[in-house]
Amino acid sequence: MSSLKDASALLHTGQAPDTLLRTVGPPIQKGSTVLLPNAAALYDDRQPTYGRAGLATHQALTEALAALEHANSVALFPSGLAALTGAMLAVLKAGDEVLVTDAVYRPTRRFCDRVLRRYGVGVAYYPPRTSAEDLMALCGPATRLIVMESPGSLTMEMSDAPAIAAAARSRGVLTLMDNTWAAGLYFKPLDHGVDISVQALTKYVGGHSDVLMGSAATANAALAAALDQAILDFGWAVAPEDAYLMLRGLRTLPTRLARHQANALAVAAWLASHPAVGETLYPPLEGAPDHDLWERDFTGAAGLFSFVLDGSDAARKDRFLDALRLFGLGFSWGGFESLAVDCDPQFGVRKTRPHYAGPLIRLSVGLEDPGDLIADLDQALTVSG
Ligand SMILES: *Cc1c(COP(=O)(O)O)cnc(C)c1O
């Protein structure tokens, strides 16, 4: 190449190596163009011929996620919400109806109400604790999909997912579960008969509050093909750097979640016995609502739960939140750092507005020392009281 002028040499040197030294993680392979070995390979669809299909980093991540989810196939999306909306678009068509839990993540509801309806898909919301039998009674001839989220957003109701999945399957209705809370680790939806397991990797898999991504996993070949086709048709893609960070997060997911669990159980037990706290909505907690379902189906507890604050003084909620020091005020969850939000402003969109004796506060319990977290809640409850 030494005879090339600068303009050519600078383009044709410094290219990808034919072989790479082995590192522990995959290479962060960046590419829109894939260079093909010969003319016949240009139109051979058995190999990726374009970067949007995902290169080495994506393949390593989907392989690890498939192992986590007990899936045959995992599709990656640019956010958790994109995974939920993408999976729905992959299986629904005009004239279908979808049944969605009333405790669904609010942006998922926004998509159903604004977009699915506009494209001719019927949307109906069912109370989060509806039994499999009652849910089947809500299914009509057009019902194509049931969307579960368990525990539900903010109010933490559990669904009998195995019973709902089995009943739906016998009627030819698909099931999808938003499994972000269990992170694919403490509940395996596909093992329990759910057709599509979706998670916001943004939360526990990323684990550091700095990357957005979502996954949709399935063990069903036809659904895998439908998800792949939706990715192709809509043009969704994720960056290799982000895929690398998600893979790195997976390495420590079990270790981090064990600590989230221990911390959250300690914090929830302490809150449950505090005189300024009403109900504690944390299924893993002995005596909490839906504890039996959690104990039957889940193998561990994530660090996200809600509790009811004393409702006698309406202004106490803001005083409490503003007094917190270790708990940041912010949406999202699953990162190493503890967060708090108040939930009531989000209940207006629900079909059945939940009623508690006071304002509902949601905590994402992070990886700090549990004694420090309890001390922070204690001082905030005291100064706000
Ligand atoms: C955050 C969240 C999502 C969406 O994830 P993004 O990556 O933020 O789009 C979906 N479902 C649940 C339950 C969530 O908490």
Domain residue extents for the chain: 53-250, 253-384
Report the catalytic residues: 52, 105, 178, 203
Q: Which residue in 242, 249, 204 sits closest to 366, CA to CA?
A: 204
Residue 285 in contact with residue 272, Cβ under 8 Å? yes
Q: Is 102 near ligand 1, meaning CB less than 6 Å away?
A: no
What does the pLDDT read at residue 103?
98
Give residue 82 CA to ligand 1 midpoint distance, Å.
Answer: 9
Which residues share a beta bridge with 98?
A: 123, 145
**In percent, how much of the chain has pLDDT > 90?**
94
The pLDDT of 93-118, averaged and rounded, is 98
Q: Is 338 near ligand 1, meaning CB less than 6 Å away?
A: no
CATH class of 253-384: alpha beta
What does the pLDDT read at residue 243?
98
Phi and psi, residue 76, nearest 5°: -105, 145
Q: Which fold has domain 53-250?
A: Aspartate Aminotransferase; domain 2 (3.40.640)
User: How confident is residue 102, by pLDDT bands cut at 50, 70 and 90?
Assistant: very high
Residue 352 in contact with residue 103, Cβ under 8 Å? no
Tell me the pLDDT tens digit for each residue of 304-333.
999 999 988 889 999 999 999 999 999 999
Looking at the CA of residue 181, tell me the nearest atom of ligand 1.
13
Q: Is 215 near ligand 1, meaning CB less than 6 Å away?
A: no
Q: Does the structure show a pLDDT above 90 at 210?
A: yes
Continuous H helices in 184-339: 221-234, 240-251, 253-272, 291-297, 316-323
Nearest CA to ligand 1 atom 8: 80
Q: Does the structure show a pLDDT above 90 at 384?
A: yes
Tell me the pLDDT tens digit for each residue of 117-160.
999 999 999 999 999 999 999 999 999 999 999 999 999 999 99
Give the integer Cα–Cα distance in Å for 150 and 195.
15
Q: Model's pTM, two decimal places?
A: 0.96
Q: Does the structure show a pLDDT above 70 at 354?
A: yes
Tell me the pLDDT tens digit for each residue of 212-233.
999 999 999 999 999 999 999 9
In testing the pocket of ligand 1, which one of 149, 181, 202, 343 has its CB within 8 Å of the most ligand atoms? 202
